[in-house]
């Protein structure tokens, strides 16, 4: 019988899938038990090894960064925005923030870069040096990935030792309207740490439920374990199996719904992303149209060794849209994600062919 005729519930089961699940669970459980600083250092070492041995991936990262760098230079109006971002990341001079904000600002978006940050682990990886950028993406990607697993085992109180927040008042204000909030996420920083967002939000007086869209894993046992882990941390997961109405109803009830908005798509509205026209997911726009939820963007930046910052930024949504207009919402979402990534480009995941 051909594979596509086998029900999905059976195709992703079996002895081979169970062994795969056991191996993955053992590995992840070991990584979860590492102290975060240890996981961070180990991840950088693994990232360095990947950088040394994975030539094709280096080429992929380089091509992605060339596109991002060109976009940043263009946004600077002929100047070198990469140099200014590097200075922004290694300086505490407050007036640089407003200058950089103006150059990153896109029409119609209320997006506010935070005060300057520093990356203590990559002083040599200036944003003006492409090869240094490529190396740092590998090392920082490894550090972020390994550290993300460790966040699953610590409390919100412990989380605040490693993860600071900014802009939660924007989220609280958006939720006050009673229509929920759509949170645009990127594969940026230790995104697994975003599972701590419900607890961190609660500590700041935000009681709303937290949910996320996700792609089911091609392994029934792993998928069930993953969902149980997330739901145990207070995150309700939605996928295509849940249809359209369940996540919309979740938003209408006042929930926060996270959507990874930087994924490469085969289909969807074709709008610019870092200057390259690409198919874009219309999901955030469709959910907003049905729910009336506020839209916000989240960035995750490395501040230093095992130190990160999650920032929440409001996005000004168009007040009037044509009934079948999917392009405008997709364009607004891409612009918001661009600005989130532009805060700390080396924290984004560039190891796949994004463009």
* The 3-state secondary structure of 167-235, one letter per residue: CHHHHHHHHCCCCCEEEEECCECCHHHHHHHHHHHHHCCCCCCEEEECCCCCCHHHHHHHHHHHHHCCE
Distances (CA, A) of 288 to 244, 246, 321: 12, 13, 11
- Predicted TM-score of the model (pTM): 0.82
Q: Which residues contact 12 (CB under 8 A, 6 or more apart)?
A: 217, 218, 219, 220, 223
Distance, in Å, from the CA atom of 109 to the CA atom of 342, rounded to the nearest integer, reads 14
Please state whether 115 falls in left (phi above 0), alpha (psi between -120 and 50) or beta.
beta
Distance, in Å, from the CA atom of 342 to the CA atom of 104, rounded to the nearest integer, reads 8
How many C-beta atoms surround the C-beta of residue 136 within 10 A? 27
Beta bridge partners of residue 164, listed in sequence order? 309
Q: How far is CA 25 from the centre of its chain?
A: 23
Query: How large is the angle between the packed helices 81-90 and 55-75, nearest 10 degrees?
Result: 100
Tell me which residue has tokens 């990127």.
Answer: 186
Structural contact between residues 223 and 216, judged by C-beta atoms closer than 8 angstroms: yes
What is the token pair recorded at 280?
């874009």
Q: What is the pLDDT of residue 157?
A: 80
- In what helix (H) or strand (E) does residue 165 lie, and over which residues does it extend? strand 163-166
Q: What is the pLDDT of residue 203?
A: 80
pLDDT tens over the chain, length 355 residues:
455 566 665 678 889 999 999 999 999 999 999 999 999 999 999 999 999 999 999 999 999 999 999 998 888 764 445 555 555 444 443 344 444 444 444 443 443 333 333 333 333 344 558 999 999 999 999 999 999 988 878 887 888 899 888 999 999 999 999 999 999 999 999 877 777 777 778 888 888 889 999 988 899 999 999 888 888 877 899 988 888 899 999 999 999 999 999 888 888 999 999 999 999 999 999 999 999 999 999 999 999 999 999 999 999 999 888 888 999 999 999 999 999 999 999 999 999 988 8
State the pairing for strand pair 294-304/307-315: antiparallel
Q: What are phi and psi of 6, to 5 degrees?
A: -80, 130
State the DSSP string of 322-339: -TT--HHHHHHHHHHHHH
Q: What is the pLDDT of residue 235?
A: 86
Distance, in Å, from the CA atom of 222 to the CA atom of 27, rounded to the nearest integer, reads 12
Q: What is the pLDDT of residue 7?
A: 63
Tell me which residue has tokens 């594979």.
Answer: 3
Distance, in Å, from the CA atom of 197 to the CA atom of 104, rounded to the nearest integer, reads 26
Distance, in Å, from the CA atom of 200 to the CA atom of 174, rounded to the nearest integer, reads 17
State the pairing for strand pair 181-185/294-304: parallel
Q: What is the pLDDT of residue 5?
A: 60
């Amino acid at each position: 019988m051909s594979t596509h005729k086998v029900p999905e519930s059976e195709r992703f089961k079996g002895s081979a899938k169970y062994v795969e699940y056991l191996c993955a669970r053992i590995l992840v459980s070991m990584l979860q038990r590492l102290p975060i600083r240890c996981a961070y250092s180990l991840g950088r070492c693994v990232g360095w090894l990947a950088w040394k041995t994975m030539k094709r991936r280096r080429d992929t990262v380089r091509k992605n960064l060339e596109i991002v760098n060109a976009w940043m230079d263009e946004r600077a109006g002929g100047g070198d925005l990469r140099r200014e971002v590097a200075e922004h990341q290694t300086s505490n001079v407050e007036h640089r923030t407003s200058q950089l904000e103006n150059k990153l600002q896109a029409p119609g978006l209320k997006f506010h870069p935070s005060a300057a940050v520093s990356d203590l682990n990559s002083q040599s990886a200036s944003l003006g040096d492409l090869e240094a950028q490529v190396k740092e993406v590998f090392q920082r990607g490894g550090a972020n990935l390994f550290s993300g697993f460790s966040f699953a085992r610590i409390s919100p109180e412990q989380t605040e030792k490693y993860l600071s927040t900014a802009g939660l008042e924007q989220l609280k204000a958006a939720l006050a309207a009673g229509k929920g909030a759509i949170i645009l996420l990127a594969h940026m920083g230790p995104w697994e740490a975003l599972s701590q967002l419900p607890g961190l939000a609660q500590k700041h007086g935000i009681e709303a439920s937290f949910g996320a869209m996700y792609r089911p894993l091609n392994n029934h046992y792993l998928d069930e374990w993953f969902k149980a882990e997330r739901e145990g941390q207070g995150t309700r997961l939605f996928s295509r199996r849940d249809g359209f109405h369940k996540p919309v109803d979740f938003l209408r009830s006042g929930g926060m719904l996270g959507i990874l908005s930087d994924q490469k798509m085969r289909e969807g509205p074709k709008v610019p992303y870092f200057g390259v026209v690409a198919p874009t997911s219309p999901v955030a726009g469709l959910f907003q149209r049905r729910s009336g939820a506020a839209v916000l963007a989240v960035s995750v930046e490395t501040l230093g060794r095992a130190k990160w910052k999650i920032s929440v930024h409001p996005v000004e949504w168009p007040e009037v849209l044509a009934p079948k207009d999917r392009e405008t919402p997709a364009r607004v979402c891409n612009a918001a994600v661009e600005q989130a990534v532009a805060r700390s480009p080396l924290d984004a995941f560039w190891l796949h062919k994004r463009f």
